[in-house]
Amino acid sequence: MSYIRLDNVSIEFPIYQGSSRSLKKALIATSTRGNLARDGLDRVMVRALSNLNFELQSGDRLALIGPNGAGKTTLLKTLAGIYEPTQGRFHSVGKVSSLLNTQVGLNTDATGRENIILRGMFMGMHPKEMHRLAPEIAEFTELGEYLDMPVRTYSAGMMVRLAFAISTCVAPEILLMDEWLSVGDAQFLEKAQRRIEGFVLGSNILVLASHSFDLVEQWCNRAILLHHGKIAMMGTVKDVIAGYRELIEYGSLEHRVELGEPAMQHDADAA
């Protein structure tokens, strides 16, 4: 039984760049207070997600749709427990497996086989267990002899195969995926879909961020449209895709939903 619930979740984080990365400038800024604080710490606060409310239950396959920078990846990271909400409450039950980036846990100097064990360990699996699962994973990737070569020689599609096969080797209760999956070829996508369907039938949750409407329509049964870090729309995949097209065309859904304040704000008097 898996479950996700967001109550009024907001994520706000400072972007540190240039001089705000510097300790010296921060020290000068705090010791002289006044004007220098503004020069020393030119932090920009980004409100990546604001006041999100929704609930997911077993069997839900949610699509996250939205233009670049809408907050899809931030939301996935929040669901994975990587980012803690700065406001609101986030509650989830179930073992999470996230496929946000193909590189992670993949040491590019190590071979494909070594990386199976490595990424598995990062996911919380004991090496013994991974050694037991390795042959099955190797077979699913169809990479054959390439598995004994360093991962740095792999193409993007091969990386996807490897990462997907490892992350789904044990049916996760909650699977979070970012859009990179579309790098895989058609035959592999089909195979991946069969596997995902397999464990969604076993009452699990899938959250997929994607720009590929075909993929979303095939895989998901609910959708959220994110815009400037807010939920602009929630509903069936078909409706939300239509909403997204409208959003692109008119620049907003204001004639349908209230959107409120802009997502970016400058915060000069930082702590």
Instruction: Give contact residues for other proteins (rule: CB under 8 A).
Output: 13-14, 16, 21-24, 26, 77, 80-84, 96, 98, 100-101, 103-105, 107, 109-110, 114, 118, 121-124, 126-127
Question: Least distance from C-beta 259 to other proteins, angstroms?
Answer: 25
> How far are the Cα atoms of 41, 55, 186, 206, 251 from residue 193, in angstroms, in the given order?
47, 24, 10, 12, 33
Q: In angstroms, what is the minimal distance from the CB of 80 to other proteins?
A: 6
Give min distance, CB of 81 to other proteins, in A. 4
Smallest distance, other proteins to C-beta of residue 84, A: 4
Nearer of residues 83 and 188 to other proteins, judged by Cβ: 83
Rounded least distance, CB 73 to other proteins, Å? 10
- Cα separation, 223 vs 237, in Å, equals 5
**Closer residue to other proteins, CB minimum distance, 70 or 118:** 118
CB of residue 194 to other proteins, shortest distance in Å: 25
CA atoms within 13 A on the CB side of 266: 4
Which is closer to other proteins, CB of 86 or CB of 252? 86
Question: Hey, how many other C-beta atoms are within 10 angstroms of the C-beta on 267?
Answer: 15
Beta carbons of 12 and 46 less than 8 angstroms apart:
yes
Q: How far is it, in rounded angstroms, from Cα 40 to Cα 119?
A: 40
Residue closer to other proteins (CB basis): 22 or 221: 22
Residue 225 · residue 207 · CB < 8 Å: no
Nearer to other proteins by Cβ, of 176 and 225: the residue is 176
The residue among 249 and 269 lying less far from other proteins, judged by its C-beta, is 269
Please name which of 119, 137, 141, 6 lies closest in space to residue 62, comparing C-alpha atoms.
6
